[in-house]
Amino acid sequence: MVALRLFAAAREAVSEVLAEARERFGDDFVRVLATSRVWVNGQPAHDDRQLSATDEVAVLPPVSGGAA
């Protein structure tokens, strides 16, 4: 699992974190993000959600299928 950890003295919104991730991880990440849900600390998040240094942002792509 890749961990994206962004630290700053000021709080940032989810949209700023995702913009940084798009730049850092490129087109493949952008395509996945287009169909994914974003959660913060286990709860659905909106782009304007303010973050602190201890928050966890999760990008959850859609899944299909079942157990093998």
CA distances from 49 to 27, 28, 44, 67 (A): 24, 24, 10, 34
Q: What is the pTM of this model?
A: 0.72
Q: Taking a C-beta distance cutoff of 8 angstroms, is the pair 59, 35 a contact?
A: no
13-63-25-42 Cα dihedral, nearest 10 degrees: 30
Q: pLDDT tens digit string along 5-63?
A: 655 544 578 888 899 889 989 999 999 999 999 999 899 998 888 888 788 888 888 87
Task: Give the per-residue pLDDT at 31.
Answer: 93
